[in-house]
Amino acid sequence: MTSEAVLVEGARKRYGEKDALDGLDLAVGRGTVHGLLGPNGAGKTTTVRILATLLRHDEGLVRVAGHDVRTGAREVRRRIGLLGQHAALDEELGGRQNLEMFGRLHHLGARRAGTRADELLERFGLGDTGRKPVRQYSGGMRRRLDLAASLITEPEVLFLDEPTTGLDPRGRMEVWDSVRSLVGGGTTVLLTTQYLEEADRLADRISVVDRGRVVADGTPDALKARVGADRIDVVVRDAARLDEAAGLLPVPRAEVGVDPDARRLSAPVTDRMGTLAETVRALDAAGIEAEDIALRRPTLDEVFLHLTAHAQAKEVAA
Ligand X SMILES: Nc1ncnc2c1ncn2[C@@H]1O[C@H](COP(=O)(O)OP(=O)(O)OP(=O)(O)O)[C@@H](O)[C@H]1O
- Phi-psi region for residue 228, left (φ > 0), alpha (ψ -120 to 50) or beta? left
Q: Does 166 bind ligand X (CB under 6 A)?
A: no
Judged by beta carbon, residue 155 or residue 163, the one nearer Mg ion is 163
Helix (H) or strand (E) holding 181: helix 169-184
Question: Contact region for ligand X (CB under 6 A) — 44-52, 63-71, 219-227, 243-251?
Answer: 44-52
Judged by beta carbon, residue 47 or residue 266, the one nearer Mg ion is 47
Judged by beta carbon, residue 45 or residue 153, the one nearer Mg ion is 45
In whole angstroms, give the CA distance from residue 198 to residue 182: 16
- Tell me the closest approach of the beta carbon of residue 316 to ligand X, in angstroms: 18
In whole angstroms, give the CA distance from residue 227 to residue 296: 13
Q: Please list the residues that pair with 68 across neighbouring strands.
A: 63
Judged by CB under 6 A, which of 28, 46, 100, 307 binds ligand X? 46
Q: Does 42 bind ligand X (CB under 6 A)?
A: yes
Residue 24's Cβ-side half-sphere holds a number of Cα atoms within 13 Å equal to: 34
Neighbours of 106 (CB within 10 A): 14
Judged by beta carbon, residue 144 or residue 213, the one nearer ligand X is 213
Q: Which residues make Cβ contacts (< 8 Å) with residue 145, sequence separation at least 6?
A: 89, 95, 98, 99, 124, 126, 134, 137
- Tell me the closest approach of the beta carbon of residue 43 to ligand X, in angstroms: 4
Q: Does 38 bind ligand X (CB under 6 A)?
A: yes
Q: Does 281 bind ligand X (CB under 6 A)?
A: no
Query: Which partner from the list ligand X, Mg ion, none does 206 bind, CB cut-off 5 to 8 Å by kind?
Result: none
Query: Which partner from the list Mg ion, ligand X, none does 260 bind, CB cut-off 5 to 8 Å by kind?
Result: none
Judged by beta carbon, residue 18 or residue 253, the one nearer ligand X is 18
Query: Which partner from the list ligand X, Mg ion, none does 15 bind, CB cut-off 5 to 8 Å by kind?
Result: ligand X
Q: Does 308 bind ligand X (CB under 6 A)?
A: no
Judged by beta carbon, residue 51 or residue 251, the one nearer ligand X is 51
In whole angstroms, give the CA distance from residue 43 to residue 192: 10
Q: Please tell me the count of residues contacting ligand X according to CB under 6 A.
A: 13
Q: Does 15 bind ligand X (CB under 6 A)?
A: yes
Which is nearest to 210 in space by CA: 301, 307, 299?
Answer: 307
- Asked if 27 and 4 touch (Cβ cutoff 8 Å), the reply is yes
Distances (CA, A) of 269 to 112, 203, 249, 252, 279: 59, 27, 10, 10, 11
Q: Which residues make Cβ contacts (< 8 Å) with residue 134, sequence separation at least 6?
A: 89, 90, 91, 92, 93, 94, 95, 98, 142, 145
Neighbours of 50 (CB within 10 A): 25
- Tell me the closest approach of the beta carbon of residue 49 to Mg ion, in angstroms: 9
Q: Does 44 bind ligand X (CB under 6 A)?
A: yes
Query: Which partner from the list ligand X, Mg ion, none does 32 bind, CB cut-off 5 to 8 Å by kind?
Result: none
Judged by beta carbon, residue 85 or residue 299, the one nearer ligand X is 85
In whole angstroms, give the CA distance from residue 89 to residue 99: 9
- Tell me the closest approach of the beta carbon of residue 19 to ligand X, in angstroms: 8
Question: Contact region for ligand X (CB under 6 A) — 35-43, 63-71, 127-135, 199-207?
Answer: 35-43
Provide the binding-site residues for ligand X, judged by CB under 6 A. Answer: 15, 18, 20, 38, 40-46, 85, 194
